[in-house]
Amino acid sequence: MTSLTGIAERGLLLNATLAFGKLVAGVLGNSYALIADAVESMADLFGSVVVWGGLRISGREADERFPFGYGKAETVATVIVGLLLIAAAVGIGIEAVREIVTPHHAPAPFTLIVLVLVVVVKETWSRRVFEQARAAGNALVAADAWHHRSDALTSAAAFIGISVALIGGPGWEAADDVAALVASFVILANGWLIARPAVLELMDRSPEHPLLEQVDAAARSVGDVRATEKLRVRKMGSALFVEIHVQSDPAMSLHDAHIVSGKVKTAVRQAVPRVVDVLVHMEPFEE
């Protein structure tokens, strides 16, 4: 968890630096697409604060008040990040439409240099964060990676719009604002893709079938297990909690059944390291 919070802290610093740089360049360079991009980065900045806070809270040990741990803090933070993106997209879209219908000057050429730097930095960083998210199986960090990638995409859209405005000359000034409008739809889609799975996770939706099959296969691999049923898996942040009914020899003693349940727990946790606890219900096997 320490490495993930470190990633979030560095992302926070990166977003703050780029947001300030893009805002200054957008104002001085008369580019609303770049200003819109700066606004999106500011949403990223607040989102990074939420990510950082969610990771710190979720890293706490389980206690009497929260016996399943604080993992849901990651999910709540992911929903907030998604909603922030959606809100930023709506605001940028409304302002872009207003700018399209309002005559204004073309952007300054130097804004293109700023955008190229932003795209390179953001895409490089997003790939690094995605790698960390996949390694940890962490949806919140993956959402933060999407934040960085959406910033790179909006910057790329701004680059195209400004280039068209500069190459086209008089009459093409609105291309800059059209790019901002396109960027708003990209941000909106990313916000939806981030928020929806997190909301479903808050409702305790079951994980995907491949993971369930992996857990079931691990339980069945134990020698004295005759059958399994009623497998349920709950996701708490990055952690998984498993409940499974295991059938074994009806003549088995309570002591031996306890040993079998321990073997099932070990097998499941070895097969799926993200599983932190396994509740095994032992039942008599019936043909």
Mean of per-residue pLDDT scores for the chain? 81
Which pLDDT score, from 0 to 100, does residue 1 have? 52
For 65-100, write each residue's pLDDT tens digit. 888 778 788 888 888 888 888 887 888 788 778 777
| Domain ranges (residues) in the chain | 2-202, 209-284
Which pLDDT score, from 0 to 100, does residue 244 have? 93
- CA 168/CA 95 separation, integer angstroms: 23
Would you say 106 and 165 are in contact if contact means Cβ atoms under 8 Å apart?
yes
- CA 205/CA 233 separation, integer angstroms: 9
Residue 88 token pair: 């930023």
- CATH architecture label of 209-284: 2-Layer Sandwich (3.30)
Would you say 15 and 41 are in contact if contact means Cβ atoms under 8 Å apart?
yes
Q: One-letter amino acid identity for 175?
A: A
Which pLDDT score, from 0 to 100, does residue 103 have? 66
In Å, how far are 126, 193, 257, 267 from 123, measured between CA atoms? 5, 18, 53, 39
**CATH superfamily of this structure's domain 2-202:** Cation efflux protein transmembrane domain (1.20.1510.10)
For 242-287, write each residue's pLDDT tens digit. 999 999 988 889 999 999 999 999 999 999 888 888 999 998 987 7
Q: Which of 26, 284, 43, 73 is nearest to 179 (CA)?
A: 26
Q: Where residue 104 falls among pLDDT bands split at 50, 70, 90?
A: low
What 8-state DSSP symbol labels residue 109? Answer: T
Which pLDDT score, from 0 to 100, does residue 265 have? 93
Burial degree of 157 (CB within 10 A; 0-12, 13-18, 19+): buried
β 227-236/239-248 pair status: antiparallel
Residues whose CB falls within 8 Å of the CB of residue 83, separated by 6 or more in sequence, listed in order: 191, 195
For 211-249, write each residue's pLDDT tens digit. 889 999 999 998 888 888 889 988 887 788 999 999 998
Residue 34 token pair: 């770049």
β 227-236/275-284 pair status: unpaired
Q: Decide if 2-202 and 209-284 have a common fold.
A: no
- CA 142/CA 153 separation, integer angstroms: 16
Q: Where residue 12 falls among pLDDT bands split at 50, 70, 90?
A: confident
Q: At what angle do helices 2-28 and 139-168 cross, to 10 degrees?
A: 20
